[in-house]
Amino acid sequence: MSQMYVSLSQQPAPSKWGNNAMLSFISDGAIIHIGEAKQQSDILRLVQKAARKLVGQGISEVQLAGGDWNLELCWAFQQGFYTPKENTAIDFPTLPGNDQQELENRIRVIHWARKLINMGPSKLYPRTLCDTVASFIQELAPEHVTYQVIEGESLLEQQFYGIYEVGRGSQKVPAMLQLDYNPTGNADEPVAAALVGKGITFDSGGYSLKPSSGMVTMKSDMGGAATVSAALALSICRGLHKRVKLFICSAENLVSGNAFKLGDVIEYRNGVSVEILNTDAEGRLVLADGLICASETNAPLIIDAATLTGAAKVAVGRDFNSVLGLDQSLVHQALDAAGNEQEYAWALPLESWHVDALSSAFADIANVHSGDGHPGASTAAAFLSKFVETPEQGWVHFDLSGSYQASANELWAAGAKGHGIRTISYLLTKLP
């Protein structure tokens, strides 16, 4: 199949293509009509929509032609032209300066993350997730990356009780990846940032069983792990020279005679006890172990990311990721980072008193709130705050409301979007 040429124009489309048409066609190509006096975000959104329309018409190979294409326009087109079957191809123009390398880095890293999230749970389970992440990051900087994977009964020996309890109902044993990126070569170099990702490779809900409609997308419940891993990878490609530790907390949440149950109490190694009132609120249970480890690094910045709550999706939809934290300055930095990277993020409320909604008669806290009227995303973040040594300073939580599309829409193919990777990478590359 010959390539279709795609160019940009600020002129409106001829009326025969429809009123305010975004696309028109000539003999050997298509023209995207971006109009005049639009905000950059509107232009990028229009270009991404046009790419989706071309894919929908069965066009699979294009060449971006003309001199109007820049880095962000190329990336917007690529985002819309992507398919989970990876059966499309784009011939990009040569971009000036570092933009060419940045585009190639985004394609390499974010495509990897999208493919990983879209992978079925029979192929991607806790150990393979940890190994795949470690191998990918080590390939980028082999001399600077060391790691270990702790799995199965070894989790108990090292007191990672949350990951173990959530994953013990599956034949695929739970696992934790601990990865150290240290480009300084100094073993005593302080850790500048610690990343924690939720890596639930499949979530049935456990004994709080999900309906089939809610379970069908749960291969994507490791999206937080993929997002922070890819953010670190992209930062390395962008020249990150600070030491960063990565903790991936991975399990399958299944039903069996050995699965954890409602009424169980987990005693974490930081002394906090948790009563299980809902086995479908398992992501926070595994993240707790990772946040304890992150705090032990004494890193001044701790970032966690997770597909954590349906409440966040209800609040902001699937175009935005949610940001929560007790450190309001850091929350605002995260929002600014999203803006600088042409991504969308929105702050949801979090106060220290949100943890009061997690009361338990049998433990320090419960894993879900009780009673009506409590904000689910906020109380989930409040739960996580109990496992950060100084949650009011240097910790921010991303609830990845916008990282996955259950079905295709006018902007995105079905499946993983990679949304949020650039935002977290920006925060890492701006480390002092």
- Do 334 and 417 sit in the same domain of this protein? yes
CA 15/CA 334 separation, integer angstroms = 43
Amino acid present at 355: V
Q: What is the percent of the chain with per-residue pLDDT over 70, rounded to a whole number?
A: 99
Where a domain ends, among 96, 124, 148? 96
Give the range of the structural domain holding residue 55, as residue numbers without chain letter.
Answer: 4-96
DSSP letter string over 359-373? Answer: --SSSSEESS--SSS
Query: What pLDDT, in 10s, does the model give residues 330-359?
Result: 999 999 999 999 999 999 999 999 999 999
Instruction: Kindly report the CATH number assigned to the domain that includes residue 11.
Output: 3.40.220.10
- Do 198 and 314 sit in the same domain of this protein? yes
- Does residue 160 contact residue 150 with C-beta atoms inside 8 Å? yes
Which alpha helices (H) appear in 95-152, and where do they start and end?
A: 99-118, 126-140
Q: Is residue 103 part of a domain?
A: no
Flag whether pLDDT at 37 surpasses 70: no
Q: How confident is the model at residue 371 (pLDDT cuts 50, 70, 90)?
A: confident
Catalytic one of 52, 172, 243, 284: 284
Flag whether pLDDT at 373 surpasses 80: no
- Do 179 and 46 sit in the same domain of this protein? no
- Do 324 and 405 sit in the same domain of this protein? yes
Give kind and range of the element (H or E) at residue 11: none
Query: What pLDDT, in 10s, does the model give residues 210-235?
Result: 999 999 999 999 999 999 999 999 99
Closest by alpha carbon to 249, among 210, 284, 212?
Answer: 284
- Do 304 and 194 sit in the same domain of this protein? yes
- Do 129 and 87 sit in the same domain of this protein? no
Flag whether pLDDT at 375 surpasses 80: yes
The b-or-e profile of 68-83 (16+ CB within 10 A means b, else e) is ebebbbbbbbbbbbbe
Prediction pTM value: 0.97
- Do 46 and 178 sit in the same domain of this protein? no
Query: What pLDDT, in 10s, does the model give residues 257-277?
Result: 999 999 999 999 999 999 999
Q: How confident is the model at residue 100 (pLDDT cuts 50, 70, 90)?
A: very high
- Do 267 and 144 sit in the same domain of this protein? yes
- Do 22 and 78 sit in the same domain of this protein? yes
Answer yes or no: 284 catalytic.
yes
Q: Is residue 265 part of a domain?
A: yes
Q: Is residue 393 part of a domain?
A: yes
Answer yes or no: 313 catalytic.
no
- Do 87 and 172 sit in the same domain of this protein? no
Instruction: Kindly report the CATH number assigned to the domain that includes residue 396.
Output: 3.40.630.10
Catalytic one of 53, 108, 115, 210: 210
Q: Is residue 104 part of a domain?
A: no
Count other C-beta atoms under 10 Å from residue 156's C-beta.
Answer: 14
- Does residue 177 contact residue 283 with C-beta atoms inside 8 Å? no
What rounded mean pLDDT belongs to the chain? 97
Q: Is residue 287 part of a domain?
A: yes
Number of domains the chain is built from:
2
Q: What is the pLDDT of residue 1?
A: 52
- Do 18 and 148 sit in the same domain of this protein? no
Flag whether pLDDT at 287 surpasses 80: yes
